[in-house]
């Protein structure tokens, strides 16, 4: 983490005098920035009420200072350079060096003061999504406050009244500012044992976001409404999304919020989970049911829980198959079943680099090494122990290990399957197909169209 006391000197001077006198402040808390895209270890609280901290996937938690029993945070809205996966960096807007901004973690009943300094080229505001707070602290520019002009600092102050999973984002030119990556998580922990909030061993959180960045460029197109080409978790795409590493038997909580323009059915392999909470609060026990996929609609948050009792490397991803892909053109015709080798031979005489693609599906894209423009990720990628995973975008792996240490979040590597427990190639004789009493085989023969 880098201190930016010197860098911020100018902004400190720009703090509005009215804001300062209102809360009788001695000084702005020093903003802390983070530029590494790694998943940072949980920030164990050393002041205030104790709690079990969360782990932000490819992110971090904002440190605070205690000032007369008020938890003070300092968010700096600013342009950032975010590595979305090794090989591709995006010019985004975010907070404190990164998109998303740092996770804010507090305890139910905490009085919280957040300084927001605007270092963007346009005005902004911060809305505290899901919070119970005085209307004037709700952060809707024009409605509950004037927008924060570039170079200015505003103060938000309220009591975190109810425990749960929340987020923050601008409510000023939000189409642009969210398309550029301005968002962050907010977790309010219960102050005492809560009947509907279980204690867990691992508590992960991330935001679903999406960008439209043309291959070879770095700045998102902000006018895109639906056809995004990078579907990300915390502004990272697979294989840039860290795995979720847990110990076998751990009770695991995953918290996710959706700030894209479409819904995402988030799917976990190998386990059933329960939706235990939303941004509306904990779900009553009588209203919970088991699932393996939960849809997270736009502007919603979902909190799911399960016991990680099955060892292995379990895929964890959005179930919309286009959302587990990186940048690609959607104007490609379907070529499955089309025999176009003859045509290709003729085209090759005109365009020597022409490639025949897609006749038997698109899987060859995963392994293909086509020259790509600089700063462009392959459409589907990520090497697993058995070859290309053929995924990008909203995809990660839940790694459940018997020998993972309590509290150890490091990546244990690929799962070593017990011998004889993998699917394998059958090389023996194929058994006779089952026949119905009419003598027709159970398989229907599909003839080629040309036959
Ligand atoms: Cu999705």
- Per residue in 48-99, pLDDT tens? 888 999 999 999 999 999 999 999 999 999 999 999 999 899 999 999 999 9
Distance 105 CA to ligand 1 centre (A): 26
pLDDT of 326 reads 82
DSSP 333: P
Distance 18 CA to ligand 1 centre (A): 44
- pTM here is 0.85
Residue 65, Cβ neighbours under 10 Å: how many? 13
Distance 35 CA to ligand 1 centre (A): 26
Residue 266 host element (H or E): strand 264-268
Distance 228 CA to ligand 1 centre (A): 11
DSSP 50: -
Distance 210 CA to ligand 1 centre (A): 9
For the chain, how long is the longest CA-to-CA vector?
A: 90
Three-class DSSP category at 295: strand
Distance 358 CA to ligand 1 centre (A): 24
Distance 320 CA to ligand 1 centre (A): 5
Distance 209 CA to ligand 1 centre (A): 9
Cβ burial, residue 239 (10 Å; 0-12/13-18/19+): buried
Distance 256 CA to ligand 1 centre (A): 12
pLDDT of 441 reads 57
DSSP 373: -
Distance 61 CA to ligand 1 centre (A): 25
Q: Taking residues 27-45, report their average pLDDT.
A: 91
Q: Which of 198, 190, 189 is nearest to 285 (CA)?
A: 198
Distance 233 CA to ligand 1 centre (A): 10
- DSSP β-ladder status, 55-56 and 202-211: parallel
Residues 6+ apart with CB under 8 A from 142: 172
Ramachandran bin of 76, using left for φ above 0, alpha for ψ from -120 to 50, beta for the remaining angles = beta
Ramachandran bin of 263, using left for φ above 0, alpha for ψ from -120 to 50, beta for the remaining angles = beta
Distance 8 CA to ligand 1 centre (A): 38
Whether 398 has a pLDDT exceeding 80, the answer reads yes
User: Among 196-200, 214-218, 306-310, which is the least confidently predicted range?
Assistant: 214-218
pLDDT of 18 reads 46
What is d(CA 391, CA 243) in angstroms, rounded to the nearest whole number? 14
What is d(CA 146, CA 196) in angstroms, rounded to the nearest whole number? 38
Mean pLDDT, the chain, as a whole number? Answer: 88
Distance 375 CA to ligand 1 centre (A): 23
Q: Which of 207, 228, 237, 233 is nearest to 88 (CA)?
A: 237
Distance 206 CA to ligand 1 centre (A): 14
User: What digits encode the pLDDT tens for the residues 247-258?
Assistant: 999 999 999 999
Distance 261 CA to ligand 1 centre (A): 10
Distance 260 CA to ligand 1 centre (A): 9
Residue 401, Cβ neighbours under 10 Å: how many? 20
Distance 266 CA to ligand 1 centre (A): 7
Q: What is the CA radius of gyration of the chain?
A: 25
What is d(CA 58, CA 39) in angstroms, rounded to the nearest whole number? 4
pLDDT of 328 reads 63
Q: Taking residues 99-127, report their average pLDDT.
A: 98
Distance 271 CA to ligand 1 centre (A): 20
Q: Both ends of the chain: CA-CA distance in Å?
A: 67
Residues of the chain with pLDDT > 70: what percent? Answer: 83
User: What digits encode the pLDDT tens for the residues 401-447?
Assistant: 999 999 999 999 999 999 999 999 999 998 888 777 765 555 555 55
Residues 211 and 90: beta-carbon distance below 8 Å? yes
Q: Taking residues 306-322, report their average pLDDT.
A: 97
Q: Which of 299, 303, 289 is nearest to 129 (CA)?
A: 299
Per-residue confidence at 299, pLDDT binned at 50, 70, 90?
A: very high
| Side-chain half-sphere CA neighbours of 112 within 13 A | 30
Q: Which two tokens stand for residue 214?
A: 């043309």
Residues of the chain with pLDDT > 90: what percent? Answer: 70
Q: Which of 301, 294, 187, 205 is nearest to 244 (CA)?
A: 205
pLDDT of 1 reads 46
Cβ burial, residue 316 (10 Å; 0-12/13-18/19+): buried
């Amino acid at each position: 983490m880098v201190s930016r006391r010197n860098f911020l000197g100018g902004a400190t001077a720009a703090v509005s005098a009215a804001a300062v006198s209102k809360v009788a402040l001695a000084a702005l808390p020093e903003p802390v920035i983070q530029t590494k895209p790694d998943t940072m270890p949980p920030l164990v609280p050393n002041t205030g009420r104790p709690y079990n901290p969360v782990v932000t996937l490819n992110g971090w938690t904002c440190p605070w200072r205690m000032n007369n029993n008020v938890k003070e945070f300092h968010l700096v809205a600013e342009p950032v350079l975010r590595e979305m996966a090794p090989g591709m960096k995006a010019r985004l807007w975010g907070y404190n060096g990164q998109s998303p901004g740092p996770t804010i973690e507090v305890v139910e009943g905490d009085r919280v003061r957040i300084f927001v300094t605007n270092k963007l080229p346009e005005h902004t505001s911060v809305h505290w999504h899901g919070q119970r707070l005085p209307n004037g602290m709700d952060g809707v520019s024009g409605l509950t406050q004037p927008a924060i002009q570039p170079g200015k600092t505003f103060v938000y102050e309220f009591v975190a009244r109810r425990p749960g999973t929340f987020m923050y984002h601008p409510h000023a030119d939000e189409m642009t500012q969210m398309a550029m990556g301005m968002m962050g998580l907010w977790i309010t922990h219960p102050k005492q044992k809560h009947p509907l909030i279980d204690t867990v061993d691992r508590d992960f959180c991330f935001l679903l976001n999406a960008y439209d960045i043309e291959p070879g460029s770095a700045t998102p197109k902000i006018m895109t409404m639906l056809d995004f080409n990078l579907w990300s978790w915390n502004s990272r795409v697979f294989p840039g999304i860290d795995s979720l590493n847990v110990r076998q038997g751990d009770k695991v909580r995953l918290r996710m919020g959706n700030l894209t323009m479409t819904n995402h059915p988030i799917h976990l392999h190998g386990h059933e989970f329960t939706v235990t909470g939303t941004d509306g609060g904990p779900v009553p026990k009588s209203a919970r049911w088991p699932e393996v996929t939960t849809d997270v609609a736009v502007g919603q948050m979902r909190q799911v829980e399960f016991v990680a009792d099955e060892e292995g490397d379990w895929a964890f991803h959005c179930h919309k198959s286009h959302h587990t892909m990186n940048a690609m053109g959607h104007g490609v015709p379907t070529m499955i079943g089309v025999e176009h080798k003859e045509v290709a031979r003729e085209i090759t005489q005109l365009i020597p680099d022409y490639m025949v693609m897609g006749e038997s599906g698109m899987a060859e894209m995963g392994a293909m090494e086509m020259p790509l423009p600089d700063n462009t990720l392959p459409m589907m990628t990520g090497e697993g122990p058995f070859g290309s995973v053929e995924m990008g975008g909203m995809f990660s792996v839940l790694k459940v290990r018997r020998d993972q240490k309590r509290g150890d979040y490091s990546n244990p590597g690929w799962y070593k399957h017990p011998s004889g427990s993998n699917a394998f190639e059958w090389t023996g004789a194929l058994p006779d197909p089952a026949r119905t009493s009419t003598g027709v085989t159970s398989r229907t023969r599909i003839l080629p169209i040309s036959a």
